[in-house]
Amino acid sequence: MTERLTPFLWILFSLGGTIAAFLFPVHLFLGGLAFPLGWLDAPSYEALRGLVQHPVVRLYLFVVISLPLFHWAHRFRYTLYDGLQLYHLTVLIAVLCYGAALVGTAVAAYTLWNLA
């Protein structure tokens, strides 16, 4: 069973790492430097709310939230497994890590789906 899931988990890991590497710095720059320091005018609440109502933006937010969660889960799993050599807890660690990523993904999907 795990042999069939492994390629899928590596794909999620790769996509999540790519998203985190390319898109997180932009969001951090805007939200952490450009808007607070006044380099750019911050969008109003109404403008952001209107933007988030668009289905493509919701899909973007879902991807930006969910895929890095799976990247984290994979990296954390192998850190515990290989780094701390917790070989006897392999299944428990995998279930907890990927389960947390699935819960986070489900919460993101529910929240983005139910925005009014």
pLDDT in tens, 29-69: 999 999 999 999 999 999 999 999 999 999 999 999 999 99
- Catalogue all structural domains in the chain, each as residue range(s) with its CATH number: 2-113 (1.20.1300.10)
Instruction: Retrieve residue 76's tokens.
Output: 């954390």
Distance CA 44, CA 85 (A): 49
Angle ∠(24,28,45) on CA atoms, nearest 5: 110
pLDDT (tens digit per residue) in 62-71: 999 999 999 9
Instruction: Retrieve residue 67's tokens.
Output: 């895929």
Q: Could you give the residue ranges of the DSSP H alpha helices within 23-89?
A: 24-29, 45-52, 55-78
Distance CA 17, CA 28 (A): 16
Q: How far apart are the first and last CA of the chain?
A: 40
Prediction pTM value: 0.84
